[in-house]
Amino acid sequence: MSYRWPLKDPDETLDYSVDWSRFLGTATISSAVWYVQTSEIGKTALASGEDLTTASSSEVTDSIQNVSQSNTDTVATINVGSGVNNREYIFTCRMTDSTGSTAERTIKLTIREK
């Protein structure tokens, strides 16, 4: 099942989060890794400060940026910038907790000029 974040304008830089508190119980987040994909791009790890970039006919470059990322004991957050108007990006947050368990949540983000 995929979740959906609110629409994002290509010119905005916004925080998006996954709250793991119900999943974790008494455990805490040890690490969170973010991945992103579009229909044109396979699943790609998106490190902090990195652009996801592809070229179409070597003229147009499409990108979405992981400006930064952080987490508390229960919430993983990614700060997202840029993106291509009318494109849907699929973000996956892979979280490892203090007991060594790993889980993923997939969230869709649509870029739309506001």
The position carrying tokens 């990322």 is 69
Cβ(38)–Cβ(56) under 8 Å?
Answer: no
How many CB atoms are closer than 10 A to CB 2? 10
- 3-state SS string over 80-114? EEECCCCCEEEEEEEEEECCCCEEEEEEEEEECCC
**Residues 40-95: tens digit of each pLDDT:** 545 555 555 454 444 333 333 457 888 888 999 999 999 988 888 888 888 889 99
Kindly state the tokens that stand for 32.
Answer: 């969170």
* Residue 23, SS3 per DSSP: helix
Q: On the CB side of 74, how many CA atoms lie within 13 Å of its CA? A: 9
Quote the percentage of the chain above a pLDDT of 70: 77
Going by their DSSP bridges, the two strands 75-82 and 13-19 should be labelled as: antiparallel
**Would you state the pLDDT for residue 36?**
83
> Taking the model in full, what pTM does it have?
0.81
pLDDT at 88: 87
Per-residue tokens: 69: 């990322």
Residue 12: CB partners within 8 Å, gap ≥ 6? 81
